[in-house]
């Protein structure tokens, strides 16, 4: 039996969703009988090949996030936005309350404990978007798994449905935004 191929990535997130995914503990072993991982921070594969499912944690805060998201979208049949940040920007989107300039000045010029104040301008660094955006504003998203983070049961529920070829339906008791 060929395994379902899954890619995962963390954009502007905290890896909390990935950590929660791993929290499924021994159930992971069973899951791995059915799935294998492509690009993922879990195995450190850097680029995505053709996949069945993409799990995206985190929203879009910079140009690099956009490139990665597009790569994952282009290679995955089904894309799932995982967690509050992917779905509506989450905690990183709290910076949208302020202008980007104000954020950078506070972090790199005026903030407490700043030494050698200067805003980084190295061409190696991904440039920041003026606001943090949810991923569905840039690519088509097939399913959403909310939570901050979603529980391991949430992951199992959505993946279980997808593995069985069903539309994922998150049971009400697993639906939460926090």
Partner 1 sequence: MSAGANQPEFSPNTFTMDGIEIPFKDGQTLMDAALAAGVYIPHLCHHPGLTPHGSCKLCMVDIGSGRASSCTTPAVAGQQVSNNTPALNEARRTLTQMLFIEGNHLCPSCEKTGNCTLQAMAYHLGMLEGHFPQFFQRREVDASHSTVMLDRDRCILCELCVRASREVDGKNVFAVAGRGITARLIVNSPSGKLADSDLEIDDLAAHICPVGAILIKAHAYEIPIGWRTFDLRQIDEIGPEKVIQARVGHTDD
Partner 2 sequence: MNSVGRTERTEPLNVTVAGACAQSRHLLEVLCILQQQLLHLSDQTVCAVSEHLGLPVGQVESVVEFYSFLYKTPRGKYHILFSNCPSCGFRQDGRNLLHVLCDRLHVVAGETRADGLVSVDETSCIGMCDQGAALLVNGIPITRLDSVKIMRVAERVETEVALSDWPAEWFRVEDNIRRSGLLLKNGFAAGAGIRAALARGFDATLAEITRSGLRGRGGAGFSAGIKWALCREAQGTAHYVLCNADEGEPGTFKDRVLLHSHADAVFEGMTLCAAVIGAKQGFLYLRGEYRYLLPQLQTMLTHRREVGLLGNHILGQRGFDFDIEIVVGAGAYICGEESALIESLEGKRGVPRNRPPFPVTHGYLGQPTVVNNVETFAAAAHISLRSSAWFRAAGTEKSMGSKILSVSGDCSAPGIYEYPFGVTMRQVLDDCGARDVQAVQIGGPSGTLIGSAEFHRTLGFEDLPTGGSFMVFGHERDLLAMIVNFAHFFAHESCGFCTPCRVGTTLLKNGLDRIANGHGTQYDVDEMKRLGILVKQRSHCGLGQTAANSVLDCLHRFPHVFEQRLAQDSHEPCFDLDAALEEARRITHRDDAAAHLD
**Do residues 89 and 78 make contact, with C-beta atoms less than 8 angstroms apart?**
no
Q: Nearer to partner 1 by C-beta: 5 or 154?
A: 154
Q: Nearer to partner 1 by C-beta: 14 or 28?
A: 14
Residue 127 binding partner 2, by CB under 8 A: yes
CA torsion 178→175→149→127, rounded to 10°? Answer: -90
Residue 129 binding partner 2, by CB under 8 A: yes
Enumerate the H helices of 3-151 as residue ranges.
16-22, 27-31, 63-75, 83-88, 100-105
What does the binding site for partner 1 look like in residue numbers (CB under 8 A)? 81, 84, 87-91, 93-94, 96-97, 131, 133-134, 136-137, 141, 143-146, 148, 170, 172, 175-178
Question: To 5 degrees, how large is the angle CA 159–CA 163–CA 167?
Answer: 75
Which of the listed partners (partner 2, partner 1, none) does 68 bind, with a CB threshold of 5 to 8 Å by partner kind? none
Kindly state the smallest distance separating residue 133's Cβ from partner 2, in Å: 7
Applying CB under 8 A, the site for partner 2 has a residue count of 21
**Do residues 153 and 170 make contact, with C-beta atoms less than 8 angstroms apart?**
no
**5 to 24: interface string for partner 2, x by CB under 8 A:** --------------------
Kindly state the smallest distance separating residue 174's Cβ from partner 2, in Å: 27
Look at the alpha carbons of 136, 95, 22, 125 in this order and tell me if their dihedral is positive or negative: positive
Q: Give the bridge partners for 128, in sequence order.
A: 62
- Among residues 137, 129, 133, 155, which one has the least CA distance to residue 16? 155
Residues that bind partner 2 (CB under 8 A): 63, 66, 99-101, 104, 119-121, 123, 126-131, 133, 137-140
């Amino acid at each position: 039996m060929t395994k379902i191929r899954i890619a995962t990535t963390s954009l502007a997130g905290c890896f909390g969703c990935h950590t929660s995914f791993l929290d499924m503990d021994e159930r992971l072993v069973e899951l791995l009988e059915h799935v294998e991982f492509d690009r993922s921070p879990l195995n450190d594969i850097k680029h995505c090949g053709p996949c069945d499912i993409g799990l995206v944690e985190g929203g879009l805060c910079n140009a690099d996030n956009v490139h990665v998201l597009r790569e994952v979208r282009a290679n995955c049949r089904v894309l799932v936005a995982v967690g509050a940040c992917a779905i509506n920007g989450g905690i990183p989107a709290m910076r949208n309350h302020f202008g980007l300039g104000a954020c950078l000045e506070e972090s790199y010029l005026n903030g407490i404990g700043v030494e050698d104040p200067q805003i980084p301008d190295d061409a190696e660094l991904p440039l920041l978007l003026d606001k943090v955006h949810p991923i569905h504003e840039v690519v088509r998203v097939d399913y959403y798994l909310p939570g901050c983070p979603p529980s391991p049961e949430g992951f199992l529920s959505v993946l279980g449905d997808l593995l069985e070829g069903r539309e994922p339906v998150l049971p009400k008791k697993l639906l939460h935004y926090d």
